[in-house]
A and B are shown apart, each in its own frame.
Chain A
Amino acid sequence: MGLALAMMSLLSLSLGAFQIPLYNVLGILLDSIGLELTEFSQQQSNVLLHIRLPRILMAILVGGGLGITGAALQGLFRNPLVEPGLIGVSSGGALFAVIFIVFGSTLPFLSYFGGIGLPLFAFLGGLINTLLVYKMGSWAGKTDISLLILAGVALNALSGALIGLVIFYADDAALRNFTFWSLGDVGGANWSKVGVSFLLISGPVLLVMSQFKNLNALSIGENEAFHMGVDVQKVKYILLFSSALIVGTAVSFTGTIGFVGLIVPHLIRMMFGADHRLVLPGSFLFGATLLTFADLLGRTIVMPSEMPIGIITAIIGAPFFIWLIINVKKIRS
Chain B
Amino acid sequence: MLQANDIHFCIRNMPIVDKANVSLAPGELTVILGPNGAGKSTLFKVLAGEIPCKYGKVDYNGSPINGFSAKNLALVRAVMPQHSSLSFPFKAMEVVELGLLSGGDSYRQDLLEEVMSETQTWHLKDQLYGNLSGGEKQRVQLARVLTQIWDKKPYPRYLLLDEPTSSMDIALQHHVLRIIHKIKKRNIGVLAILHDLNLAANYADKVILLKKGRILHQGPVKEVMCASNLEEVFEHPIQVFSGSEDSPMIIQSIPFIQNHLEIKLA
Contacts and interface: CB of A to CB of B under 8 A. Distances in A.
A148 to B, nearest CB: 13
Interface stretch (B65-73, B167-175, B190-198): B65-73
B79 interface: yes
B74 A227 contact: yes
A230 B70 contact: yes
Interface stretch (B19-27, B97-105, B209-217, B249-257): B97-105
Interface stretch (A52-60, A268-276, A290-298): A268-276
Interface residues of B, number: 30
A interface bracket (residues with beta carbon within 8 Å of B)? 20 to 34
A273 B145 CA distance: 22
Secondary structure class of chain B's binding surface, majority of residues: mixed
Of the candidates B70, B73, B87, B88, the one having the most CB atoms from chain A within 10 angstroms of its own CB is B88
B48 A227 contact: yes
Nearest to B87: A78
Of the candidates A219, A223, A231, A273, the one having the most CB atoms from chain B within 10 angstroms of its own CB is A219
A223 B72 CA distance: 15
Contact of B81 (A78, A219, A224, A230): A224
A220 B86 contact: yes
Nearest to A223: B50
Interface string A55-76: 0000000000000000000010
Interface in B40-77: 48-50, 69-75, 77
B84 A224 contact: yes
B89 interface: yes
B101 A274 contact: no
A216 B98 contact: yes
Interface in B76-126: 77-79, 81, 84-91, 94-95, 98-99, 101-102
A232 B74 CA distance: 13
A213 B107 CA distance: 12
Contact of A229 (B87, B101, B145): B101
A196 interface: no
A285 interface: no
Contacts of B75: 229
Contacts of B94: 216, 273-275
Given A217-B101, A223-B81, A224-B81, A229 B86 contact: no
Given A220-B95, A274-B94, A232 B88 contact: no
Contact of A228 (B49, B74, B85): B74
A157 B211 CA distance: 50
Contacts of B30: none
B148 interface: yes
Interface of A: 75, 78-80, 213, 216-217, 219-221, 223-224, 226-232, 269, 273-275
Interface of B: 48-50, 69-75, 77-79, 81, 84-91, 94-95, 98-99, 101-102, 145, 148
